[in-house]
Chains A and B, each alone.
Chain A
Amino acid sequence: KAGVTQTPRYLIKTRGQQVTLSCSPISGHRSVSWYQQTPGQGLQFLFEYFSETQRNKGNFPGRFSGRQFSNSRSEMNVSTLELGDSALYLCASSLEARLAYTEAFFGQGTRLTVV
């Protein structure tokens, strides 16, 4: 069974540009969450999607957005990149978002560097 796949693995962008990251969840998983990991802040929740609907959003500016497609694949977009957006972006998929007692499985992440 394939795991969570994130593409690309590495990205270098310039300040002011925008970027789109992609995530393919585990087959059958309908919930996809995104997290940002930085050395100082640890893993912070960005947003969660289930059945193409954003169910929850973390405390990030509107420059961070996402969407989910009918096949559960998800993308996140960051516009007007800032140096502080440099981080490891992690996608996680879960079997069923309505079950609180479920674990999330993570992809390997996309390392974004803004210069």
Chain B
Amino acid sequence: DQQVKQNSPSLSVQEGRISILNCDYTNSMFDYFLWYKKYPAEGPTFLISISSIKDKNEDGRFTVFLNKSAKHLSLHIVPSQPGDSAVYFCAASASRGAGSYQLTFGKGTKLSVIP
């Protein structure tokens, strides 16, 4: 059972426009959410995160929105640039009493920004 879902395998956006990447989760224990960007043959690079006590976090061109009641989060990139073309992974973690740390990832959305 997939606990973190990214239902769009790919997305194409014109340069300068907004890119919106979506992510849904099913596990109510998740309380911290992260977005990673990945280029081929490289490891994922951390982009932005949000804890469950917030509904929005912004960092430059990147904003993450969290809707806890809908168990949905989204990443907005404004304006989109060709260098943003990559695979974006949504990830979630849950607080654990023993302090163990585990990220559960979605399968990724490939973003293509067209010049």
Contacts and interface: CB of A to CB of B under 8 A. Distances in A.
Interface residues of B, number: 29
Contacts of B41: 108-109, 111
A84 B49 CA distance: 32
Nearest to A39: B107
B101 A48 contact: yes
A8 interface: no
Interface stretch (B12-20, B75-83, B91-99): B91-99
Interface in B15-58: 31-32, 34, 36, 41-46, 49, 51
Contacts of A106: 36, 43-46
A103 B34 contact: yes
16 contacts: A33-B103, A35-B103, A41-B107, A42-B108, A43-B91, A43-B105, A45-B103, A48-B102, A56-B96, A94-B101, A104-B34, A104-B46, A104-B101, A105-B46, A106-B45, A109-B42
